[in-house]
Amino acid sequence: MKSLLNLDTITTDAYIKLKELDEKFIGTYNYLGIGWFWNYEFRHYLRDASINDRKKVHNIFLTYNLNVSDATELHYQIIRETLKTN
């Protein structure tokens, strides 16, 4: 399902509250795609990714029982395939 929330149209206060809430959802299927969960190693791929792509990557990690903040070859492979990067 595509996100209907446009973060460019909300106030800074609303964004901060959503990010704080979403950080509590990291590691669960309730994750919204706003908070940062990824390992520093993958920052260039995920910080600029869409909310939907972040959520996809996060949930695939969960499906494979991976710690969402680890950095393994499998994490990298999932990110590459999901974001269609080289």
Residues 3-16 have pLDDT tens digits of: 577 888 999 999 99
CA-nearest of 58, 42, 52 to 7 is 52
Domain-located, residue 13: no
pLDDT value of residue 7: 84
pLDDT for position 13: 97
Looking at the 3D structure of the chain, how many domains does it have? 1
pLDDT 10s digits, 27-77: 999 999 999 999 999 999 999 999 999 999 999 999 999 999 999 999 999
Instruction: Look up the domain containing 59 and give its range.
Output: 27-83
pTM across the whole model: 0.88
At 59 the pLDDT is 98
CA distance 81 to 85: 7
53 lies in some domain: yes
Examine the pLDDT at 1 and tell me if it is beyond 60: no
